Structure 1
Amino acid sequence: MEIDFVVTWVDMEDPKWKEDFATYSGKIDNTKNEVAESRFRDHGLLKYWFRGVEKFAPWVRKIHFVTCGQHPDWLNINHPKLNLVNHSDYIPEKFLPVFNSSLIEIYLHKIPGLSEHFVYFNDDFFIINNITEERFFKNGLPNDIAAFRLNFGLSLWSKCLKNNIRIINKHFDKKEVLKRDHDKWYDESYGSRGRLTKRLSFYDKFITLRTPHNAQPYLKSTFEEVWEKESEELSAMSVNRFRSPKDYTQELFRTWQICKSDFNAYNTYQNTKMFPLLFKAEKAIKAIKDQSYSLVCINDNEHMRNYEQTMARVEEAFNSILPDKSSFEL
């Protein structure tokens, strides 16, 4: 089984990006999440993403590095495992330029040369310990957790997740799915995260599934099927250059996979952890140094104090476990 990685990145200091951003938005506004600085700024940690992949996941077939035509100066663009992907290579030209990560993600299956089995990363997801193909896929299917969560629809992101579920309920019968895949939905490894699923067993409709904020395994054919069924809805949201409450997200494709039974029951939280640096910087730094997990998410926030000092310490932690240049660096 050949497995690819897809990672997205942006350099907000790039003059062309700044020009395009100003044309369509005006300015960075930290009071609005969709145009906040934390959504676009580069932490300077990308080289550790590549170092982690090379050291801890050398089995990856290809890395598809997705940007709006940018790449850091230190990147070895001639690396045999690297595929530089411009948004214009796979997103229809009429929707470009785009600053909406959800739009960038719903077209991933169009990336030239992408394998059927791929893992999607944001650039703040890092591999910090040995990890195997079986962490992401087993017997040709993605590993994932099928469990419900509450969603009151208050934030923009929560509203988008509700949009996803509307589509899911249009195509899948919850009681039939849970009956067919009882063992997957009620797997003991989920622990307390499976309680709400049991409590809502009587309810006829799907609600939002748990959304682990980590590297996500996908089947390319899932994207193709969802687009075949819902091209009108997905095309309509593609006009949103910035995040919108009318968006669909990559969670639509993940949930579709689960509802089709195209997954293995797996508690992804057991070896993955998200650290919001606004609240948990010290824990994040310790987890990196101790290599406490296979995967960590180092989540930025526009309201974080002492940003420069904190990121310097995070970089020091990464350098303590990944001090050597990778072959992806010049």
Structure 2
Amino acid sequence: MPRLADHLPHNLKVRLLRRVPRAWWLRVRPLVHGTTDVQRRYRDRRATRALASVPHRLRGGAVTVSNGEENWLAHPTTTFSSVRVLADNLALVADALETHGVEHVVLESETNRRRLVVVPSDAAHDARVALESELAPSGAYAAPVSGGRVVRPRIIGHRAIPGAASHLRVFRALCTPDRQFLSGSDLGCDVQFWEETSQDGPLALGSQPVPAGTWVAPRRNHWIDVVEPENQAVALREVDGRTRPTLARVSHPTLDSVRTPIDVVYTWVDGSDPTWEERYARTLREVKGAGAVNRLATNSSRFLSRDELRYSLRSLEMYAGWVNHVYVVTDAQVPSWLDASHPKITVVDHRDIFTDHDSLPTFNSHAIESQLHHIDGLSEHFLYLNDDVFFGRSVEPSRFVRSNGLTNFFPSTAKINLGGPAPEDWPVMAAGKRNRDLVLSAFGHQVTNKMKHVPHAMRRSVLEEIEQTFAEDHGRTSRAQFRSDSDIAIPSSLAHYYGYFTGRAVPGSIAYFYADIARPDTPARLEGLLRKRNFDVFCLNDHDSTGIDPGTQARMIRTFLQQYFPLPSSFERAPHGDEA
């Protein structure tokens, strides 16, 4: 993008430098030269001074923190779940309006969606008074919303709520006890002031005529844009565990409301466990005695645990609290920090799901994945995650499963090479080729793309059908104790294509970040991810870091994950000793 400086003569820039005040120049300098460290420090100092001027009576126990982009007054918390935060921010607004008798209805209350409260425009002044009166001592923010973006959030009681704004976002910023930023406006509650028509007639050229007194939304939403007087009746319904006024004629759930239970399945291994290492070495000797084994099927990074599962579970609880139950599939192992007695988690041993115990022990992720649908109690819909996949921000269940039961899958731009599987292929490529050939033989269409490393939305019934339909390939894969060029990859690829051609899966979209931790630019990319937190999910993949110092890699990953997911989840046992 060209800068202003590219269009200014040098002598004019010199004259500007001499004539303008330094404070003003530091503000406009980014337009000329781009943002610099000097400009950032100036901005941060101004923001810090502004926050310091907020009286303690308006702070509500909040402390000053930075999210790397802005400074905030944030409230320390020891637990965090986007589901709970969305509900709490709605309570801030709805309780204040209710206390002051301000007419309002809760329009949006779907799982993990930002709540929306509608106030008629003739009650807008009373609503602002109610919010300022009730929330001034709470350290809460209010900000106008324009074009979907918040504009200059201000602390309620310290700065007046803008009177001209038709759309506000109200929220409390949250942080950890040691002042790591957790959330701000992203999980706030929206308040919209809907205009009332003063006369009968169409709202715009060619639109349906509406009667006087109709509420008109200032911007589009999931539910309704106009509400005629005869449809403004209120019904009391339970929202987030509290009785709230809602529009009587807006029925929940609607077309895109997901009500089916969605479980989560992880596969996990700790390659440093001495007992596991002995099983691995013995089995590898036996398999090598029977033939060659692909190098990438046995590289140490495939079995290395850097505590990723701990942080993936934290991300799950923080940003996908709607999950029904979690299953962790392991080879006679349980992470030392995991509270296996937690009511929402079950540790599943390989022997509990493999129908052929002669195939065990197995060190082939393709084989383990082929048996996931045998988990006792597993729901029809579930997400399959490797432990190096994380939720990066609040996500809705409809991102993965649609209300009619269809699952979403997310094709990668990476392609499947032409030709058949070969011993020199990487195992993932060989499996992709075999998947492609099976789809072609069964449905007459050639697939070309791999899938992104994201939570894979599965239907148990689809996996059961695949086991029957492709019995030979399925059985061969389940019996292979190490990855080989004869494998198929089921939940990460084949199940999506099979679901698509049988009318049970469709392509979806997701904001996704991928990092190969062996790449030299990964630390810088992770720093940007930590600062912006603008992806639904991300994967820290260890494709092959053999030969790279494992201690350095572990410190980099652990430092990043601890900063991104700093609070222990309810799945973790209370720390003690060297586990702290």
Q: TM-score, normalised by structure 1?
A: 0.84
1:278 alignment partner, SS class: coil
* Aligned-partner Cα distance in 2 for 1:258–1:146: 12
CA contact (8 A) 1:4 1:61 kept: yes
Q: Which has the higher contact order (CA 8 A, sep 6+)?
A: 1
1:71 alignment partner, SS class: coil
1:210 alignment partner, SS class: strand
Distance 1:114 1:289, change over 3 A: farther
User: What is residue 16 of structure 1 aligned with on the other side?
Assistant: 275
User: What is residue 142 of structure 1 aligned with on the other side?
Assistant: 407
* Structure-to-structure mapping, 1:189-228, within 5 angstroms: 206-228=446-468
Unaligned runs of 5+ in 2: 1-259, 287-292, 574-580
CA contact (8 A) 2:526 2:560 kept: no
CA contact (8 A) 2:271 2:305 kept: yes
1:264 alignment partner, SS class: strand
Query: What letter corresponds to residue 323 of structure 1 in structure 2?
Result: P
User: What is residue 297 of structure 1 aligned with on the other side?
Assistant: 539
Query: What letter corresponds to residue 281 of structure 1 in structure 2?
Result: T
CA contact (8 A) 1:277 1:304 kept: no
Distance 1:56 1:146, change over 3 A: closer
* Aligned-partner Cα distance in 2 for 1:321–1:233: 40
CA contact (8 A) 2:263 2:383 kept: yes
CA contact (8 A) 1:138 1:264 kept: no
Please tell me whether residue 151 in structure 1 is matched to residue 417 in structure 2. Answer: yes
2:450 alignment partner, SS class: coil
* Structure-to-structure mapping, 1:17-32, within 5 angstroms: 17-26=276-285, 32=295
- Tell me how far 1:285 sits from its aligned partner: 4.0
User: What is residue 132 of structure 1 aligned with on the other side?
Assistant: 396
Distance 1:168 1:55, change over 3 A: same
CA contact (8 A) 1:9 1:66 kept: yes
1:22 alignment partner, SS class: helix
- Tell me how far 1:278 sits from its aligned partner: 1.4
Unaligned runs of 5+ in 1: 175-205
* Aligned-partner Cα distance in 2 for 1:72–1:255: 34
User: What is residue 287 of structure 1 aligned with on the other side?
Assistant: 529
Q: Comparing 56-65 with 312-321, which one deviates more in the overlay?
A: 312-321
- Tell me how far 1:134 sits from its aligned partner: 1.1
2:535 alignment partner, SS class: coil
Deviations 1:16-41 (CA, angstroms, capped at 9, x unpaired): 211111111149xx981100011001
- Tell me how far 1:147 sits from its aligned partner: 7.8
2:278 alignment partner, SS class: helix
Distance 1:214 1:53, change over 3 A: same
Q: CA RMSD in A?
A: 2.2
User: What is residue 88 of structure 1 aligned with on the other side?
Assistant: 351
2:513 alignment partner, SS class: strand
CA contact (8 A) 2:432 2:450 kept: no
Query: What letter corresponds to residue 395 of structure 2 in structure 1?
Result: I
* Aligned-partner Cα distance in 2 for 1:145–1:323: 29
Deviations 1:139-185 (CA, angstroms, capped at 9, x unpaired): 211112468834145433212111112211221132xxxxxxxxxxx
Query: Which of residues 310, 316, 339 is equivalent to 1:53?
Result: 316
Q: TM-score, normalised by structure 2?
A: 0.49
How many percent identity over aligned positions? 28
1:296 alignment partner, SS class: strand
Deviations 1:168-207 (CA, angstroms, capped at 9, x unpaired): 1221132xxxxxxxxxxxxxxxxxxxxxxxxxxxxxxx13
CA contact (8 A) 1:146 1:258 kept: no
- Tell me how far 1:238 sits from its aligned partner: 2.3
* Structure-to-structure mapping, 1:185-264, within 5 angstroms: 206-250=446-490, 251-264=493-506
* Aligned-partner Cα distance in 2 for 1:150–1:234: 20
* Greater share of strand: 2
* Greater share of helix: 1
User: What is residue 440 of structure 2 aligned with on the other side?
Assistant: 169
2:264 alignment partner, SS class: strand
Q: Which has more radius of gyration?
A: 2
CA contact (8 A) 1:128 1:288 kept: no
2:272 alignment partner, SS class: coil
CA contact (8 A) 1:100 1:243 kept: yes
* Aligned-partner Cα distance in 1 for 2:487–2:506: 28
Query: Which of residues 312, 315, 321 is equivalent to 2:564?
Result: 321
- Tell me how far 1:306 sits from its aligned partner: 4.1
Deviations 1:26-84 (CA, angstroms, capped at 9, x unpaired): 49xx9811000110010123221111111111110000001012111111001010011
* Aligned-partner Cα distance in 1 for 2:311–2:325: 17
* Aligned-partner Cα distance in 1 for 2:263–2:315: 15
Distance 1:5 1:288, change over 3 A: farther
User: What is residue 62 of structure 1 aligned with on the other side?
Assistant: 325
Query: What letter corresponds to residue 167 of structure 1 in structure 2?
Result: L
